[in-house]
Structure 1
Amino acid sequence: MTDDAIDENTGTTSPAEVLLIFLRLGLTCFGGPIAHIGYFRDEFVLRRKWIDEHAYADLVALCQFLPGPASSQVGFSIGLMRAGYLGALAAWTGFTLPSAALLVLFAFGAGTLTGPVGAGLLHGLKLTAVAIVAQAVWGMARNLCPDRERASIAVVAALIILFSTSSIAQIGSIVLGGIAGLWLCRREAPSPSGHVEMPVSRTLGLITLAMFFGLLAGLPALRSLTGSAGVALFDAFYRSGALVFGGGHVVLPLLREAFVAPGWLSDDAFLAGYGAAQAVPGPLFTFAAYLGTVVSPEPHGLAGAALGLIGIFLPGILILLGALPFWDSFRRRADTQAMMRGVNAAVVGVLGAALYDPVWTSTVHTARDFGIALVGFVLLVSWRAPPLVVVAISAATGVAMALI
């Protein structure tokens, strides 16, 4: 049976059919999490009518509120609603597998990119990262820092990152942003509407919340006790995935702190992989597959890629399952909304600091570099060009400059 033969009126679908539908989406969804949410709306609200408009908006609001990759969480939830827990796993696998496989292939081939052509290509990919992160900062600042209170929270968060040498600066700035939001961001907001029903009991929700926080606190302790490189890698991926608020691009500074700072890979390799991640469809979090492949401690290669994918996606899934039974009442609290306004403003500052260091400082060295990055930024922001086009232009220009 093809996916077009599914009976939308039965209310259920087999996990195999969910896998095929999300595999097609995983091969064709370019453009980042906001674009992915648009693709999902077209597919599941308008075309298949698996979920109505209000319920979908409520589900998107939940996934944007929680830490983790919002588009993957939305897809996981739709699979859960339609085909139970196996359907949720099928949705995640189908949407994640294509981009993860492409980035693993890039990781294995990156070492062969030597000489002027290879160096130029990798530098072009790094310049793509400059344009992409600048676009993310620009868009998030406009949407999440529209007033002086939230703009001030973002600036303070950026200053904490830029002037601090502590490894917990990112976490501290986000926590302080939430505290500041409770104080400064209590403006009246429209009461949320809509309701999402999920087959998740409150008991299971509490268990998964306990697992989320237990792993977040327990993995560093286990890492210290065992000295295991595998536990250290899993902890780095898990911690990064657990602390991402406000969009997938915010994972960049967290992953850099976790992998580049201890010397597990170079800034150049990190940013080249991040640039390549813009050229593939699917969730940006599959950048973890590239990192797990090229990172120096074992396990790396395919085992490291699998470890990275599980580690970075697991916290978002756990906290989603934990929040679903309680979300409807929790999201209506004024203090919750105020806190999240502050957190979202803080992550704008965190990403802005990352735009300067390491993205800008390690990539833009000449006027030509600045020109290439500027062209990419204008294409993204003013011309609404797909990221794949910017990747191709920047990479080709980087090769051309290396050959001149």
Structure 2
Amino acid sequence: MPTPASSADVRNVSAWQVFLIFLRLGLTSFGGPVAHLGYFREEFVARRRWLQESAYADLVALCQFLPGPASSQVGLALGLRQAGWSGALAAWVGFTLPSALVMAALGLGLVAGHGLVPAGVLHGLKVAAVAVVAQAVWGMARSLCRGAARLLLMALACALALLLPGVAGQLGAMLLAALAGLALWGRAGAAQSPAVHDTLAARVRPRTGALLLVVFAALLVLLPLAARAWPQGWLVLADAFYRAGALVFGGGHVVLPLLQAEVVTTGWVAPDDFLAGYGLAQAVPGPLFTFAAFLGAAAGHGAGGWSGAAVCLVAIFVPAFLLVAGALPFWERLRHSARARAALSGVNAAVVGLLLAAFYDPVWTSAIHTLADFALAAVACAALMWARVPPWLVVPLCGVAGWVFLG
């Protein structure tokens, strides 16, 4: 059995290999950002052993702290870690391209948007997400929540996230868990979790990271000024979608109010078209942020089409790249500190709690309504966890079962 990656063998795959791996994930990763983290964990921690469980949890924690699409940021960081800057680009293109092309085509009206995916298939894919997230939560809890203290932190983080939905509950849970971890294990000089052996960042120096963070802030300030000075359609769209990607915490569904304010209230996209595109975004694999390609393609005022889709898609993901690549070298230094590892031990338990909360709402509540739903989820979970059937096979089979039995 291969051993977990170490800092000496981090760069052991090519950018082309990274692209092919993430392309398969982009074609099969249904279920939204929480499910994507489950797919990534199964692929890169359990199967390929690119990094240890604790390092993966540290990376998830960082991306939860940052604004933007957390699952895409995790993918970018994994590609960067394994194959450098070209690996980060390959990971993003592979994971994003399939759903982006579909959503852009729908935005252009090349494919009929309404009723494209049968309701039963869509429901079956939601049930599959229940099994994928359950597998991820169970696996991470076994590794990161050993002992009564960590289990308690996990339960408290889950309760806080459910009682206080949104960014405040998530960030509050992680901050409180960090303080608890520091108080519980900081005096011992090191957390009770294993020492850090594998690295997260590849070829990102602190000076480079700082420059990327400066670029992120500069674009946030300069793009609105440029859009006012030169109100070209593509520049206005780039400004709107960059701000949406830069200022939203939680990613996924949380970005929708910002996008609606930018493109519906301004008349760029009709309300019915916006809602239709959002519904279709639930039926395609990959990141929900590819909804931007649909909106860019459907935008009026002479700024739509394939060029509009490309502008909006790139603009909404650029902040994610700048933030995660800029923060990684500082996060890498921090997580090697003994006291920081104590705090991260608490944060990792809280991350499992946040995933557990997301498993209940919205994953479980949106998919499990009847005994038949529960039975299909149980079968899918057993297939993943005990029969070791790969997710890329379980997910489409659940879609077919949903079409046949739940439609």
TM-score when normalising by structure 1: 0.67
Partner residue, 1:182: 182
Inter-CA distance 337–389: structure 2 relative to 1 (3 Å threshold):
same
Contact kept in structure 2, 1:177 and 1:342, CA below 8 Å:
yes
Larger mean Cα displacement after TM superposition, 115-124 or 289-298: 289-298
Partner residue, 1:336: 340
Distance in 2 between the 1:137 and 1:390 partners?
A: 18
Inter-CA distance 401–173: structure 2 relative to 1 (3 Å threshold):
same
Contact kept in structure 1, 2:277 and 2:291, CA below 8 Å:
no
Partner residue, 2:158: 158
Larger mean Cα displacement after TM superposition, 116-125 or 377-386: 116-125
Partner residue, 1:139: 139
Task: Please list the CA deviations of residues 70-111 of structure 1 after superposition, one character each: whole Å capped at 9, or x if unmatched.
Answer: 45324313433xxxxxxx1x2222233233121124434598
TM-fit CA distance, 1:335:
1.3
Inter-CA distance 173–255: structure 2 relative to 1 (3 Å threshold):
farther
Q: Percent identity?
A: 25
Partner residue, 2:66: none
Distance in 2 between the 1:59 and 1:192 partners?
A: 8
Aligned with 2:366: secondary structure? coil
Task: Please list the CA deviations of residues 206-238 of structure 1 after superposition, one character each: whole Å capped at 9, or x if unmatched.
Answer: 4345566x589x68xx79xx9x87656434434
- 2:93 paired with 1:97: yes
Q: Which residue, out of 79, 89, 93, partners 1:75? A: 79
Inter-CA distance 261–106: structure 2 relative to 1 (3 Å threshold):
same
- 2:316 paired with 1:308: yes
Q: How does 1:393-404 map to 2 (within 5 A)?
A: 393-401=397-405
Q: Which residue, out of 24, 32, 52, partners 2:40? A: 32
TM-fit CA distance, 1:357:
1.4
Task: Please list the CA deviations of residues 15-73 of structure 1 after superposition, one character each: whole Å capped at 9, or x if unmatched.
Answer: xx95444334444568524523677768xxxxxxxxxxxxx879967856743644532
Amino acid at match of 2:291: L
Q: Which residue, out of 201, 204, 208, partners 1:204? A: 208
Task: Please list the CA deviations of residues 298-336 of structure 1 after superposition, one character each: whole Å capped at 9, or x if unmatched.
Answer: 687443332333233332112124556xx2xx4442210
TM-fit CA distance, 1:402:
5.2
Distance in 2 between the 1:377 and 1:307 partners?
A: 37
Partner residue, 2:32: none
* Unaligned ranges ≥5, structure 2: 1-10, 29-38, 64-69, 229-235, 262-273
Distance in 2 between the 1:263 and 1:356 partners?
A: 26
Distance in 2 between the 1:21 and 1:348 partners?
A: 30
Q: How many residue pairs are counted as aligned between the two chains?
A: 339
Larger mean Cα displacement after TM superposition, 286-295 or 364-373: 286-295
Task: Please list the CA deviations of residues 256-278 of structure 1 after superposition, one character each: whole Å capped at 9, or x if unmatched.
Answer: 333369868779957x756743x
Q: How does 1:289-308 map to 2 (within 5 A)?
A: 289-294=289-294, 301-308=309-316
Inter-CA distance 63–133: structure 2 relative to 1 (3 Å threshold):
closer
Contact kept in structure 2, 1:238 and 1:314, CA below 8 Å:
no
Inter-CA distance 363–197: structure 2 relative to 1 (3 Å threshold):
closer
Contact kept in structure 2, 1:33 and 1:70, CA below 8 Å:
no
Q: How does 1:248-259 map to 2 (within 5 A)?
A: 254-259=251-256
Q: Which residue, out of 206, 210, 234, partners 2:242? A: 234
Inter-CA distance 156–37: structure 2 relative to 1 (3 Å threshold):
closer
TM-fit CA distance, 1:287:
0.4
Contact kept in structure 2, 1:123 and 1:398, CA below 8 Å:
yes
Distance in 2 between the 1:390 and 1:267 partners?
A: 27
Contact kept in structure 2, 1:116 and 1:399, CA below 8 Å:
no
Task: Please list the CA deviations of residues 87-144 of structure 1 after superposition, one character each: whole Å capped at 9, or x if unmatched.
Answer: x1x2222233233121124434598475596111212222222222222222222222
Distance in 1 between the 2:192 and 2:322 partners?
A: 34
Partner residue, 1:360: 364
Distance in 1 between the 2:378 and 2:201 partners?
A: 45
Contact kept in structure 2, 1:177 and 1:343, CA below 8 Å:
yes
Partner residue, 2:328: 320
Inter-CA distance 33–193: structure 2 relative to 1 (3 Å threshold):
closer
Contact kept in structure 1, 2:281 and 2:288, CA below 8 Å:
no
